[in-house]
Amino acid sequence: MNRFANTPEPPYYAVVFTAQRTGSDHGYGAMAERMMELALAQPGCLGAEATRDADGLGITVAYFQDQASIAAWREHAEHLVAQRLGRERWYSHYQLRIARVERAYSGPEGRGRD
Amino acid sequence: MNRFANTPEPPYYAVVFTAQRTGSDHGYGAMAERMMELALAQPGCLGAEATRDADGLGITVAYFQDQASIAAWREHAEHLVAQRLGRERWYSHYQLRIARVERAYSGPEGRGRD
């Protein structure tokens, strides 16, 4: 599985979600999988990258065409439920940042796209 | 240890580095630790968040006051060596994106700062 997002040339938007999981699952695994699937199916979603270490610190970065797509995803009914459960059960702390991607590089094939 | 970056009100910049590690260490652990320490000591660096899963997919997000601070960090002599070793040894693939953070929230204490 390719876990990198195959994003187009900038500009586009990134939603950076850094979150510390609480200890117990409480349905988290299934919901996280469903949210990733749903996010990727959102109009304007360009892909996502996600990882979490053994201590439960995770970073997910989802890429979107524009701010309107991010706003629509934020208000998606199933996602609102997940957000509530995240606050109540799954995360001891999280930080969410919305950013406009201005430049992108990849490698090690070449620095490219400067 | 607090693994969240205590960033100020936006706007500021984020460097999002998603990378797949190759299998063997080849000095990676020590260099990664040194680079995190160096980055955090850079003028204009506001903090960083990093995590990597058991399959070796890592995401590091470093936050900077402005693009000039990012450019200076990119050209730092020790960091240039690390970048070269990253391309040659440590990463099978990476993507680097530079983005301007426009909004930030944290929780679950409250959504705040909209």
pLDDT digit string, tens, across residues B43-97: 999 999 999 999 999 999 999 999 999 999 999 999 999 999 999 999 999 999 9
Q: How far apart are CA B22 and CA B65, in angstroms?
A: 32
- The reported pLDDT for the residue numbered A111 is 40
Residues contacting residue B95 through CB under 8 Å, at least 6 positions apart: A4, A5, A7, A49, A104, A105, A106, B16, B17, B18, B19
Closest listed residue to residue B87, CA positions, set B98, B79, B99? B79
Q: How far apart are CA A69 and CA A91, in angstroms?
A: 25
Q: How far is B26 from chain A (nearest CA, A)?
A: 17
Burial letters for A73-87: b for 16+ Cβ neighbours within 10 Å, e otherwise?
beeeeebeebbeebe
| Chain A CB contacts of B3 below 8 Å | 20, 57
Answer whether residue A114 shows pLDDT above 50.
no
Q: How far apart are CA A39 and CA A63, in angstroms?
A: 10
Its ipTM equals 0.93
Strand order in the sheet with A57-64: A45-52, A57-64, A12-21, A91-107, B91-107, B12-21, B57-64, B45-52
- The reported pLDDT for the residue numbered A74 is 96
Say whether A104 and B94 touch across the interface (CB within 8 A).
no
**Coil, helix or strand for B107?**
strand
**pTM exceeds 0.80 for this model:** yes
A61 in Cβ contact with A16 (< 8 Å): yes
Please state the rounded mean pLDDT for residues B1-29.
Answer: 93
pLDDT digit string, tens, across residues A38-83: 999 999 999 999 999 999 999 999 999 999 999 999 999 999 999 9
- The reported pLDDT for the residue numbered A109 is 75
User: Residues in chain B whose beta carbon is closer than 8 A to a beta carbon of chain A?
Assistant: 3-5, 7, 10, 14, 16, 18, 20, 49-54, 57-59, 61, 86-88, 91-108
| Chain B CB contacts of A93 below 8 Å | 4, 106-108
> Per the structure block, which two tokens stand in for B70?
């990012």
Please state the rounded mean pLDDT for residues B17-27.
Answer: 91
The total number of residues written for chain B in this structure: 114
Residues contacting residue B14 through CB under 8 Å, at least 6 positions apart: A14, A16, A97, A99, B61, B62, B63, B64, B98, B99, B100, B101
Q: How far apart are CA B25 and CA B17, in angstroms?
A: 19
DSSP B80: H
Say whether A101 and B99 touch across the interface (CB within 8 A).
yes
Report the 10 Å Cβ neighbour count for B1. 3
Q: How far is A1 from chain B (nearest CA, A)?
A: 12
- The reported pLDDT for the residue numbered A1 is 65
